[in-house]
Amino acid sequence: MTMDESDESLLEDLLAGEHRALARVISKIENRSPGYRDLVSELYAHTGDADVIGITGSPGAGKSTLVDKLAEEYRDRGETVGVIAIDPSSPFSGGAVLGDRIRMASTVGDMDVFVRSMSARGTLGGLSTATADAVKAMDAFGKDKIIIETVGAGQNEIDIVRTADTVAVLVPPGSGDDIQTLKAGILEIADVFVVNKADRDGADRTVQELREMVHLGEESGLGGGSGGHHGADAMSGGGDDRGDADGDDGDDEATDWTPPIVETVATKGTGVETFIDELANHRTYLVDSGTLAEKVRQRYAEEIRTLLREDVHSLLEDELAESGGIDDLAEAVRLGETDPYSIAGDVLAPVEACIENLETNADSNAE
């Protein structure tokens, strides 16, 4: 891979800790500017030291406020923080109002908290690629903790979170009946549950419902023998000794993880320390159990797949353009002249032929 001169010096500046260079590199990544791939591929050599934390949950759950307090606490502990805050973009104009920064007030004036807002402008996994690459940039820059705050769209928002080592799911009090906790999706990906706004009515019930859900999950197999033990603790103990119980368990059985439930009031900073402890516990578990290596491997596999998919996608777009553009083809389907399956077959046929050709060539070369 070769970079042009300006990218070369941009990379140097980023590695030297210049904030503007980091900002620029992230813009290049977002814009997919020419040469951004070479830049990102150079970043990999400098990554791997940051803890990546994903924070997700429904709109209004208090993600930004909690992220703000989290960043403040990490700074107090002497660690540098990068935040990627994702907001939705308009399906009509493509524009976006990125408002999560407003809540990031505790760390203002402190450049060692680097907050970057991203809009969900990409399609076809574009956002998750851009997010993962922006994480790489912050990691290479030298951030100790990188927090990804997701868009908060809904129950199935699990894609971006795959970029994170540890995923915290915020569940505000009164977020639906107990069937919600049985559904598939966002609750399944939690490594830590946070019942934020814990001073509100219904918080206890929400904690209880989550606890039952976690308990059920253990009984159904994954937890194995240790499940009952965790469950008993969870049922009898309050929110406070919960953290301790879990910490103890982590020492002697590093094979599975039971998502703890933390109660916070982000606006006041209540519970943030416990939350950080649980994040650290999960990190320790990941490392000790060898799960981290597995996770990282899966993540890279996914990155490779996504890149290939994007490349193939753009090859096909070119192919489509050659065959008269997608609009004509769609119109032909509308008029009943053909159907999408036939078109897909036709467009792909020359590509397949090409690849087969390559393979036979390779075979004959090998012999």
Partner 1 sequence: MSSEQDAESIRCLVAKVGLDGHDRGAHVVARAFRDAGFEVIYSGLHKAPEEIVQAAVQEDVDVLGISILSGAHDTLVPKIMDGLAEYGAADDTLVLVGGVIPEEDREGLKEEGVAAIFGPGTSIEETIEFVRENAPQR
Task: Specify the residue, 9 or 155, whose C-beta has the smaller distance to partner 1.
Answer: 9
Q: Tell me: does residue 313 bind partner 1 (CB under 8 A).
A: yes
How many residues in the shown chain lie near partner 1 by CB under 8 A? Answer: 41
Report, in Å, the least distance between residue 115 CB and partner 1.
6
Query: Residue 18 or 212: which CB sits closer to partner 1?
Result: 18
Note the maximum CA span of the chain. 74
* 147: its two tokens: 């927090």
Contact positions with partner 1 (CB under 8 A) in 27-46? 27, 30-33
Nearer to partner 1 by Cβ, of 321 and 344: the residue is 321
What is the b/e burial string over 13-43, where b = at least 16 CB atoms within 10 angstroms of the residue's CB? Answer: bbbeeeeebbebbbebbbeeeebbbbbbebb
The smaller minimum CB distance to partner 1, of residues 292 and 347, is found at: 347
The answer to whether 329 and 321 are in contact (CB under 8 A) is no
Closest distance to partner 1 from the beta carbon of 97 (Å): 5
Q: How far is CA 189 from CA 216, 292, 324, in A?
A: 15, 15, 43
DSSP, residue by residue, 126-151: HHHHHHHHHHHHHHHHT-SEEEEE--
Phi and psi dihedrals of 85, rounded to 5? -105, 120
Binding of residue 16 to partner 1 (CB under 8 A):
no
Contact 14, 25 (CB under 8 A): yes
Find the binder of partner 1 among 111, 184, 335, 366 (CB under 8 A).
111
Residues 6+ positions from 339 with CB-CB distance below 8 Å:
333
- Is 9 near partner 1 (CB under 8 A)? no
Q: Are residues 263 and 223 in contact, defined by beta-carbon separation less than 8 angstroms? A: no
Select from 258, 267, 260, 254 the least CA-distant residue to 240.
260
Q: Interface mask (CB under 8 A) for partner 1, residues 126-145, using x and -?
A: x-------------------
Which residue's CB is nearer to partner 1, number 37 or number 283? 37
**Contact between 221 and partner 1 (CB under 8 A)?**
no
- Between 325 and 350, CB nearer to partner 1: 325
Minimum CB–partner distance for residue 134 and partner 1 (Å): 11
Is residue 12 within the footprint of partner 1 (CB under 8 A)?
no
Of residues 235-274, which lie at the interface with partner 1 (CB under 8 A)?
A: none
Among 8, 73, 106, 122, binds partner 1 (CB under 8 A): 122
Nearer to partner 1, 33 or 208 (CB): 33
Cβ atoms of residues 172 and 196 within 8 Å? yes
Q: Is residue 114 part of the contact set for partner 1 (CB under 8 A)?
A: yes
Residues in contact with 286: Cβ distance below 8 Å, sequence separation at least 6, in sequence order: 165, 166, 292, 295
- Contact (CB, 8 A) for 85 and 117: yes
Backbone φ and ψ for 182, nearest 5 degrees, come out as -90, -20
Pattern 293-312, binding to partner 1, x per CB under 8 A?
-----------------xx-
Q: Tell whether residue 121 is a contact of partner 1 (CB under 8 A).
A: yes
- Interaction between residue 15 and partner 1 (CB under 8 A): no
For CA atoms 250, 255, 261, 265, the dihedral sign is positive
Indicate the residue among 28 and 197 with the shorter CB distance to partner 1.
28
Q: Is 65 in the site for partner 1 (CB under 8 A)?
A: no
Write out the binding residues for partner 1, residues 87-106 only, by CB under 8 A: 89-90, 92-99, 101-102, 105
Which residues are near partner 1 by CB under 8 A? 19-20, 23-24, 26-27, 30-33, 89-90, 92-99, 101-102, 105, 108-109, 111, 114-117, 119, 121-122, 126, 310-311, 313-314, 317-318, 321
